[in-house]
Amino acid sequence: MVHEISFYDQVNKNFDRAAEFINKPKDLLEQIKRCNAVYYISFPLKRDDGSIETIEAWRVEHSQHKLPTKGGIRYAPNASQDEVMALAALMSYKCAVVDVPFGGAKGGIKIDRRNYSENELQRLTRRYTVELMRKNFIGPGLDVPAPDFGTGAQEMSWIADTYMTMSTGELNALACVTGKPVPQGGLRGRTEATGRGVFYGVREACDVAADMEALGLSTGLEGKRVVVQGFGNVGSYAAKFLTEEGGAKLIAVAEWNGAIYSESGIDVQALLEYRQSRPDGSILGFPGTETIANSTDALELECDILVPAALENQITEDNAPRIRAKIIAEAANGPVTSKASEMLHDRGVLILPDNYLNAGGVIVSYFEWIKNLSHVRFGRLGRRFDEQTNRRLLDAVTKASGHEFDADEELFLTRGADELALVRSGLEDTMIDAYRQIHGIWSQHRQRGADLRTAAFVCAIEKVALCYEEMGIFP
């Protein structure tokens, strides 16, 4: 195994590479790069068997140039301060790339959630929330967590409930966290948002004819062979939309205990149901697939699009020479190390960078936060009015033209937008717009060796720098 630099240093290396394309003062760039606040917590957890375990946790606010800061909470056995700092920094750049008005933050608790009962998880999540409150590291206008690796709507619900219990009368208390269940102030479309955003981003990239030609691929997603690593929230939804809406073919899925492969394609819904039916939650043995015992071997399969959607540091200097994918879609944060990224770029592989591609979660979290602050569901005021207006217009067109619309067409043309439709539309628009921004920057700097990741960093750094300049802190 080749030794590579830490995750946080890698993020900063990518930053420094981008800084070469930016004409800004060094001290301003240094301010942008540094983590503004790092909070380390340890607290006791009483296990169900009566024993006491010391839990280690972190919350890092990387950049408070915009408030609140925003970023998920990860439950993982290898969580560390370095990792949380790296992920918090990525959040700042991600929010800037997709024009979401937040600073970046991240949280982590060092546990393997599979070893804890639901009651234990609830106790430690509530305690973590109290610890965040004690130091003002959570609040609708301060710092707003969300789900990440190893957490989901259930944990967000415990966080919201704890925060509300302890902040009696705070009108906007529900906006202290996003990714909540819908009945508890959550937003329709949030759960699948990151995977859906990955689909929109990959689709945009595959629609650029010149880029596809350079890779020896046809334009469009249809028929492209996809390998996904990590079949959790992000990976499974990315696979679902890439295949069902994009027409791509899922040929392999890698999980922590092995991978499955089928050249004729894997049905995402059937695989989800199969996994749910298994007591150990494994995907191995899914009918019609071969098993690959060593999970990481699946990354080296010949395919058009490789979607790492598990953890960081999966493609390193070590295995990069054996990667045969033409496009790597970084659904996870930091799955390709900075050195591996350089090596793959030199070989002509197109990497769609994490700080753009997996921004769907934070984009839709932003919509959820707005919904909580405005105390009204999206679409509630206008939907029926729009439907009636559309109905009258359609009747007028039918009368004037004599053309009769069939029932499906009528339904489509007259409907008013509900919350889910608005969320999807806002997410799609933001992902398309951001891709065009970073692709434009890439086109300017491509001749000088920049890749798409560098372009995304340039895009982010320039926006954050502008914010500091407007504050009058830097000349």
Residues near ligand NAD, by CB under 6 A: 72, 147-150, 194, 229-235, 254-256, 295, 309-311, 331-333, 358, 361
Q: Which is nearer to ligand NAD, 60 or 212 (CB)?
A: 60
**C-beta of 95 vs 221, nearer to ligand NAD:** 95
- 13 noted as active-site residue: no
Choose between 10 and 229: whose C-beta lies nearer to ligand NAD.
Answer: 229
User: Shortest Cβ distance from residue 21 to ligand NAD (Å)?
Assistant: 25
SS (H, E, C) 140-164: CCCEEEEECCCCCHHHHHHHHHHHH
The residue from 106, 224, 249, 326 that is catalytic is 106
Smallest gap from Cβ 195 to ligand NAD, in A, equals: 8
Smallest distance from the beta carbon of 177 to ligand NAD, in angstroms?
A: 13
Measured from the CB of residue 358, what is the shortest distance to ligand NAD in angstroms? Answer: 4
User: In the complex with ligand NAD, which residue's Cβ is closer, 29 or 227?
Assistant: 227
Q: Which is nearer to ligand NAD, 19 or 73 (CB)?
A: 73
Which residue is at the shortest CB distance from ligand NAD? 232
Report the residue number, 193 or 465, with the smaller CB distance to ligand NAD: 193
Nearer to ligand NAD, 227 or 450 (CB): 227
Dihedral sign of CA atoms 153, 159, 162, 168 in order: negative
| Minimum distance from residue 339 beta carbon to ligand NAD (Å) | 19
Structure tokens at 35: 């983590």
Instruction: Work out how close the CB of 469 gets to ligand NAD at its nearest, in angstroms, rounded to a whole number.
Output: 29
Shortest reach from residue 378's CB to ligand NAD, in Å: 19
| Residues marked as catalytic | 106
